Structure 1
Amino acid sequence: MELVSTVRHDGDGGVLDDLDTVRAANRWLQQQLDWLSTATGTAGLVADEELREAIVGVRRAVRALFARVVSPAPPSAADAHRLMPADEALSVLNAAAAREPVAPQLHWPAEAAPTAGLLSAEGDPGVRLVAALARDAVDFLSGPQCEHLRACHAPRCVRYFIRSHGRQEWCKPSCGNRARVARHYERTRAAGPS
């Protein structure tokens, strides 16, 4: 969800891309330090243009597959007009996940419960990062939370979110407020002057 949420609304009807430049991609990577350390061992990674494009490619594929999940409801307005075809998105995502050879490892400290992890044979931290992003998307899309995925349709919002209760329609309360204000405005405008 963090990767997909790098596409967001600017508050004025436009769309911002938190990965639109190498500098912006590095800022996003800095914000993901905990995950990077745990999932990929790449906490000190600095992106270049090639890595930024690879990350954006995985994000495009995931957003296209998210659109497929929420269908027949409309996808996010940010990229509804330029979605990658689903079969291409699957190929991109699976190819990115396959770039890193990994083996499952069991960790079992003496006084703790066992945990599983992955041991990478890949030396390139950029490849490890892109593969980890793709694996996380594969895990999400094939897991139980996927059925709760929704696109927020509040005015100007472009986010996907995981519905936490049956009546949740928006990604956050401010989107709900914007949607209610827009509905009120439309009702009063349709009613005409008093």
Structure 2
Amino acid sequence: MDLFTGELLALDLVNTRAATSDGEADALDDAAGFTAWLALQTHRLSPLPAMTRDDLPAVRALREHVRQALDAVRQGGTAPDAVAAINQAVRAAPPYRILAGDGTAETRRDGDALTCLLAQLAEAAVDLLSSPDVERVRACEGPHCRMLFLPAHPRRRWCSPTLCGNRVRVARHHQRRKAAERP
């Protein structure tokens, strides 16, 4: 699966599951796919844990809760069970700051690697869901695409101009050519 990243962390998490021309693709199907996705998040997650197949169900469950909460907010509602699960993940490993020996501050969390990762991902979801920007989150208009994005420009319609945008433009071009060829 080509990983679509570059959005807010919570949206990138939701976008690990996508519809492709070959069917469903899920970066969380195996530890290798998830490790590849994590490697793209090095600037946002620390430390990057080594994940195993046993860790994936918990990450997939959190992803689904984030998706449910986003869908509810985008439709003007709420998803209390999803919000409770997100909050529980944040509370499992809350961040705290300490003073390092060199005089710099570090943010740390207590807990195993999975618990800390889930807390960071859930915290990113809290940041998005509590932001006024959440109302601007859009679903890609590409056929069969489910990617979500936060448009920097109000006219943006696709997750990626080179992926879905190009597919839509090519399809329109073919339709115009077919229409022009008809007698």
Q: Which TM-score band (shorter chain)? A: 0.7 to 0.9
Aligned-partner SS, 1:35: coil
Measure the CA separation in 2 of the matches of 1:36 and 1:104. 15
Measure the CA separation in 2 of the matches of 1:185 and 1:64. 36
Map of 2:45 onto structure 1: 36
Map of 1:15 onto structure 2: 24
CA-to-aligned-CA distance 1:28-75 (integer Å, 9 cap, x gap): 2233233223xxxx23x2112332111111111111222223327xxx
Deviation of residue 193 (structure 1)? 4.3
Report the more deviating stretch, 20-29 or 159-168: 20-29
Instruction: Decide whether aligned partners of structure 1 residues 27 and 165 sit closer, same or farther in structure 2, where only a CA change above 3 A counts.
Output: closer
Aligned-partner SS, 2:121: helix
Map of 1:148 onto structure 2: 136
Report the more deviating stretch, 26-35 or 14-23: 26-35
Map of 2:120 onto structure 1: 132
1:166 maps to a residue whose letter is P
Instruction: Report the TM-score, using the length of structure 2 for normalisation.
Output: 0.75
1:152 maps to a residue whose letter is C
Measure the CA separation in 1 of the matches of 2:167 and 2:74. 21
Report the more deviating stretch, 175-184 or 154-163: 175-184
Instruction: Decide whether aligned partners of structure 1 residues 68 and 117 sit closer, same or farther in structure 2, where only a CA change above 3 A counts.
Output: farther
Measure the CA separation in 1 of the matches of 2:31 and 2:17. 15
Measure the CA separation in 2 of the matches of 1:158 and 1:23. 23
Measure the CA separation in 2 of the matches of 1:117 and 1:106. 6
For the Cα contact (< 8 Å) 1:93–1:134, is it kept in 2? yes
For the Cα contact (< 8 Å) 1:57–1:92, is it kept in 2? no
Measure the CA separation in 2 of the matches of 1:158 and 1:190. 29
For the Cα contact (< 8 Å) 2:68–2:79, is it kept in 1? yes
Aligned-partner SS, 2:43: helix
Map of 2:161 onto structure 1: 173
Aligned-partner SS, 2:96: strand
Instruction: Report the TM-score, using the length of structure 1 for normalisation.
Output: 0.71
Structure 2 stretches of 5 or more lacking a match? 1-10
Structure 1 stretches of 5 or more lacking a match? 73-84
Measure the CA separation in 2 of the matches of 1:24 and 1:137. 21
- 1:89 maps onto 2:82 in alignment: yes
CA-to-aligned-CA distance 1:121-175 (integer Å, 9 cap, x gap): x131211111010001101111132122100021132200111122222222132
For the Cα contact (< 8 Å) 1:148–1:164, is it kept in 2? no
Measure the CA separation in 2 of the matches of 1:64 and 1:191. 44
